[in-house]
Amino acid sequence: MIKLSPSILAADFKNLSDNIQKADQAGAQYIHIDVMDGDFVPSISLGVPVIQSIRSATDKIFDVHLMVSNPERYIADFVKAGADIITVHAEACKHLDRTLNFIKQNGVKVGVALNPSTPLSALDYVLDLVDMVLIMTVNPGFGGQAFIAGMYDKVTRLRDMIKDKGFNTDIEVDGGITQDNLDKIIEAGANVIVAGSSIFQGDIKENITSFNNIISKY
Ligand code: DX5
Ligand code: ZN
């Protein structure tokens, strides 16, 4: 089952809960929330208080993507604020195994993200711990960037790796996803689709309907 996870980084922050409700009603399964700390990535976006206050806007899954150095410091706070899935970057954790176990112990789904240049071998000893792998298809830090074409092959190699191990780990892709490359990334193996600017720029409902029309073919 393929899920759409609109990234609110591209939403109108003045009308954030309205934009989230529009995405919810139009048929998004997840809400993707990008947390940036100005250290792991250049930008600063939003944090725990914002998540707490938008939690009542929707029942949809809060898919929280932490682009934060040493994220273990904040896991408990994000769980308390209402995160359902917490994804940390392999590159941002000194003790990745410990951090992933800690997320699991907090009772939420566990995700691990890899930057475009990080090899899949970073997953060799942690794949059994995670519910989802996030393959970054742009360098993290900003919305509206162009998809990096080499990531199709990375997604397919990850899909094969997961299959070989007999797991059913979700594969999420994030960055530069549009209606034009959606088929190709799904065919490569992705089943959780993040999209920011191509959902929140223009008519949210129309964009989600168009995305879901493509998704429903699979
Ligand atoms: C990038 C973020 C993405 C971003 C995607 O660092 O992780 O979630 O919002 O935005 P688009 O879809 O515009 O590339
Ligand atoms: Zn993201």
Instruction: Note whether 6 and 209 are within 8 A (CB).
Output: no
Pocket lining: 154 vs ligand 1, CB cutoff 6 Å: no
Model confidence pLDDT, tens digit, residues 35-53? 999 999 999 999 999 999 9
Question: Average pLDDT, whole number, for the chain?
Answer: 98
**pLDDT grade for 181, boundaries at 50, 70 and 90:** very high
Name the residue ranges covered by the structural domains of the chain. Answer: 3-215
Pocket lining: 7 vs ligand 1, CB cutoff 6 Å: yes
Separation CA 119–CA 43 (nearest Å): 24
Is-above-0.90 flag for pTM? yes
3-215 classified as CATH 3.40.50.2300 = no
90 CA to middle of ligand 1, Å?
Answer: 18
ipTM over 0.95: yes
Atom of ligand 1 nearest to the CA of 199: 12
Helix (H) or strand (E) holding 33: strand 30-36
Pocket lining: 144 vs ligand 1, CB cutoff 6 Å: yes
Separation CA 18–CA 28 (nearest Å): 14
Model confidence pLDDT, tens digit, residues 67-112? 999 999 999 999 999 999 999 999 999 999 999 999 999 999 999 9
